[in-house]
Structure 1
Amino acid sequence: METSLSRVLIKIFAQGFYRVHAGLFLFTFLVLVGAVDPGEIWSYHKLLMLAFISSPIMLMVVFAIWLIYSIKTWHYTITQIFAVNQQFLFYSSTSFTKRQQLSGWMLTQASMLMPVIAYGITAVIVGVWHHYYVAPVIILLYLGLLTWAGAFIYTTLINRQIDGGKQSLLMRWSSKWRKPFYSMFIYHVFDKMKVRYVITKGISYLIVTGVFLLFADVSHDVRVAGIAMLAIATAHAVIIFEERKFEETYLIFSRGLPQTRLWLFAGFALVYLVLLLPEGIWLFSRFNPLLAAELMLFGLSVVLLFHSLLYWMGLNMDKYLQYIMGLFMGLFFVILYRQIGPLLVLNGVVAYLFFYNNYYRTFAVKAEGE
């Protein structure tokens, strides 16, 4: 029975994902293979694998690319789960046990991550062959987390719909609390997005642990913490996208309220500050208060920049992830020059300008690929 579920899920979601993104895979293949002479392909990729296995900085870049690719698979699968022609899954797949469902979704997620997994396992073999052991273990753990996270999200979403009418404990407790306008999304996260929030924090924990393990010899260097905060902000890309989607879906009336754009922007900053509290606790427990505050504000500025971009480009996940990747690379190399303070200010100013100039121009949720 478990095998039959896996086959159906892989046929619907994994094969569909590859069909929809065939152009992207063809382009990536041409870049990876066509960039060098055919006789030197293995030597080229072997050197590339050794480069990111032996360099923590390069490994973080590779992990960011893999995370963005994983987010792309999560977004595609979740969109398809709620498509009209897939509604039968809410009645058929839930007849299996939770363990069987999780196993089937893990095989499906692994199928969609196959290019990343194949490259990662090859890199692990190359690393072990050349006597690198820490990085290969971290790579395997990271790949396992990405696979499990996707499967856990899908399983939870499928089963939640069966009992969708039950109100969460948080909403029952807070039914009589005063709720400021800016707090709406915070309640939404803890009511409807608990799984994705917890998984995001799990990825953040892995990032923090991995970065400081890889940079153990220079763990007190501010650049290491800056890179960790940049990676953490990138890990929140899905939650940021969902915030904009929530705003366009449920809070569209807010554009008619007598509120200044500065006040609204400050409200969004407060929302993300609350959602980043676990990372803030870690920062203040590890660094002196002044440095911790600077790093926290830097992470917040990156999140706000990612958020404000969506007013300009609309809710297009493919385009959004491309910009996230480009910004990650650019900010990453600026951090290496110890310019976190100026970068914090620049991010905040650019984010506010994007928000100010596009807030009243964005009214509709754009369809994928539009």
Structure 2
Amino acid sequence: MQQPLTKVLLKIFAGGFYQVHAGILFFVFFIMVGTVPGNMLISYHKSLMLAMTSSPMMLALVLAVWLIYIAKSWHYVSIQLFAPDKQFLFYSSTALSLVEQRKSWYYTQAAILAPIIIYALMAVGVGLAHRFYILPAVIILFLSVIIWCSAALYMRVMNGLIDSNKQSLLLRWSSKWRKPYFSLYVYHIFDDKKVSYFITKGLSWLIISGVFYLFADVSTDTRVAGIVILAVITAHVVLIFEERRFEETKLSFARNLPVSRFRLFLNFASVYFFLLLPESVWLFSRFHLLMALELLLAGLSIALLFHSLLYWFGLNMDKYLQWILGLFIVLFWIIMFHLLWALIPLNLVIAYLFFYNNYYRYEGVVSRES
């Protein structure tokens, strides 16, 4: 029997998510079903599921697509939580025990991810029927971790209200430190976005560990490492989006400072360098110096490209995720053709052009959809 809180959360967030995204979901359903001849539909999806559970490369691509859907669900729920008509939840739901809250959020996130979960369970069944065990286990582990992390994120928001005049321990300790411009968002993350940061780093660890475990025989192949870096940066899209939101809502005064756009661009590169420090330690401990440096520069260039896109069309998460998905596919195939080295200058040039041409044109209006 469902708890009253579960019913409320399902109706508000799961139901609302499907109402808002009905058009996109219908389009995806049409692509998956409507474009395949009826007599080939079952065999087509069976082959696709078999590929997911037998090919690590195919599964990595599918998980990256799922991550974009998951990031959108996090963004939708976190925004809706602070809508004026949802404020009653902060007073009613927090009266329940943490265990009851956590169960309700598990059910809610599982309902939002129902299309992914249903398809994933069918794929697991196909994989087990063909005696593939490792990748089906990875799928189950991935979904379990995502649901757990989602519930932790939502509960952190719901139970994290504190006195607005009370500074965090980090800010009190660092109150007298000099803070370069690039460090402001880093402080903001460890002051207010710790849950999002550690969830992202957890996803990075899963991606790195999973892919290199499955590709142990070709772990020194630059393509494998490049795809891992691409997937890791894609896992950071929420933090990248929040960086732009923070810049626009808290640092908009920077447009009036006598600082060149090139210097500002370098500041953003410094931000992502610090955010990727854990991954950088792993790179330089696993690969030789030149390869590690190439992979790190590739990751920074991809992050800057994802960042600079937001100067073009603003803080619109729906459009942003669509572009991220398209770019992921393009960059994936460029890496597969041994062109990782070419991505670095290409990404940096495109990112800088987007940034240079749109930085002062951006009107500073946060999209309602975001």
TM-score if structure 2 supplies the norm length? 0.97
Identify the residue that residue 73 of structure 1 maps to in structure 2.
Answer: 73
Distance 1:154 1:166 in 2: 22
Identify the residue that residue 144 of structure 2 maps to in structure 1.
Answer: 144
Distance 2:331 2:256 in 1: 35
Distance 1:118 1:280 in 2: 36
- The code of the aligned residue for 1:306 comes to F
Distance 1:197 1:346 in 2: 28
Indicate conservation of the 8 Å contact 1:230/1:299, yes or no.
Answer: yes
Give the stretch that moved more between structures: 346-355 or 24-33.
24-33
Q: CA deviation at 1:61?
A: 0.8
Indicate conservation of the 8 Å contact 1:230/1:328, yes or no.
Answer: yes
TM-score if structure 1 supplies the norm length? 0.97
- The code of the aligned residue for 1:301 comes to S
Identify the residue that residue 345 of structure 2 maps to in structure 1.
Answer: 345
Question: 1:160 is paired with a residue of what secondary structure?
Answer: coil
Indicate conservation of the 8 Å contact 1:6/1:108, yes or no.
Answer: yes
Percent of matched pairs sharing the same residue = 57
Give 1:1-370 correspondences, 5 Å limit. 3-162=3-162, 165-369=165-369
- The code of the aligned residue for 1:123 comes to A
Q: CA deviation at 1:164?
A: 5.0
Give the stretch that moved more between structures: 305-314 or 31-40.
31-40
Distance 2:241 2:163 in 1: 25
Q: CA deviation at 1:48?
A: 0.8
Q: CA deviation at 1:311?
A: 0.3
Q: CA deviation at 1:37?
A: 2.3
Q: CA deviation at 1:38?
A: 2.3
In structure 2, the gaps of 5 or more residues are none
- The code of the aligned residue for 1:280 comes to S
Residue deviations 1:135-179 (CA, integer Å, cap 9, x gap): 000001111122122111110011111555532111111011011
Indicate conservation of the 8 Å contact 1:237/1:306, yes or no.
Answer: yes
Q: CA deviation at 1:188?
A: 0.3
Distance 1:328 1:19 in 2: 27
Count of matched residue positions in the alignment of Structure 1 and Structure 2: 370
Distance 1:162 1:365 in 2: 28
- The code of the aligned residue for 1:109 comes to Q
- The code of the aligned residue for 1:339 comes to L
Indicate conservation of the 8 Å contact 1:90/1:162, yes or no.
Answer: no
Residue deviations 1:157-215 (CA, integer Å, cap 9, x gap): 11111555532111111011011122111110010000000000000000001111121
Distance 1:163 1:48 in 2: 51
CA RMSD of aligned residues (A): 1.3
Question: 1:181 is paired with a residue of what secondary structure?
Answer: coil
Distance 1:2 1:166 in 2: 37
Q: CA deviation at 1:365?
A: 2.8
Distance 1:167 1:235 in 2: 29
Distance 2:368 2:61 in 1: 26
Give the stretch that moved more between structures: 328-337 or 360-369.
360-369
- The code of the aligned residue for 2:17 comes to F
Question: 2:338 is paired with a residue of what secondary structure?
Answer: coil
- The code of the aligned residue for 2:355 comes to F
- The code of the aligned residue for 1:98 comes to L
Distance 2:39 2:240 in 1: 44
Q: CA deviation at 1:124?
A: 0.4
Mark the CA change 1:164 to 1:146 in structure 2 (over 3 Å): closer, same or farther: farther
Indicate conservation of the 8 Å contact 1:317/1:368, yes or no.
Answer: no
Distance 1:165 1:369 in 2: 30
Mark the CA change 1:124 to 1:163 in structure 2 (over 3 Å): closer, same or farther: farther
Residue deviations 1:69-102 (CA, integer Å, cap 9, x gap): 0011111101100000000111111111222212
Question: 1:180 is paired with a residue of what secondary structure?
Answer: coil
Q: CA deviation at 1:33?
A: 1.2
Distance 1:278 1:28 in 2: 35
Indicate conservation of the 8 Å contact 1:2/1:100, yes or no.
Answer: no
Distance 1:157 1:228 in 2: 30
Indicate conservation of the 8 Å contact 1:245/1:315, yes or no.
Answer: yes
Distance 2:154 2:269 in 1: 29
Q: CA deviation at 1:3?
A: 1.5
Indicate conservation of the 8 Å contact 1:245/1:365, yes or no.
Answer: no
Distance 1:276 1:61 in 2: 21
Residue deviations 1:96-130 (CA, integer Å, cap 9, x gap): 12222122111100000000000001000100000
After the TM superposition, which parts of structure 1 deviate over 6 Å for at least 4 consecutive aligned residues?
A: none
